Amino acid sequence: MSIYKILEHSFRRTGWNYSLIERNGMAAIYEQRAPAKPDKISGYVVARIRRVKGKTMPDGNKIPPREIFPSPSEFGFNGWYYMSNPESKKMAYEQYYELIHKLGQVIPDDKSSSGEKGTMSSLDEEEEDDLGDDMFA
């Protein structure tokens, strides 16, 4: 068992801002916004959050064990994007609840997320990662 850094509730990645709407275990749904239009939602992302072990980079820098957001190449498998409209938001939530079920998690009665931004958590380790282009906290 290791201590992992929890993925931030809000972050910027590949030119987009992401804000957590809900999270249940390792399933999450985010709003996506363009930095130039922060008041307008451009879409919704359903993500399978993964945990990876810490690594020492070739330059000696250490990256701690952490949770990661799916890389762009993982969309369709660990991440799904939905345009910003009422029907797409409904589809995004359907995907989110399907992911929760697939991961064997329970959907809480109030369907709310919990947890604090940037905290550390003790979790069982998941497979190793090569640090590709994943987002990490």
Label residue 88 exposed, middle or buried (CB < 10 Å: 0-12, 13-18, 19+): middle
Domain chopping of the chain, boundaries: 2-127
Condensed to tens digits (0 to 9), the pLDDT of residues 48-69 reads: 999 999 999 999 999 999 999 9
DSSP-derived letter for residue 21 is: E
CB 113, CB 24: distance < 8 Å: yes
Condensed to tens digits (0 to 9), the pLDDT of residues 92-125 reads: 999 999 999 999 876 655 444 444 444 445 444 4
Alpha carbon distance, N-terminus to C-terminus of the chain: 19
Residue written as token pair 């409209």: 85
pTM for this entry: 0.74
The two structure tokens encoding residue 126? 């998941």
> Residues in the chain, how many?
137
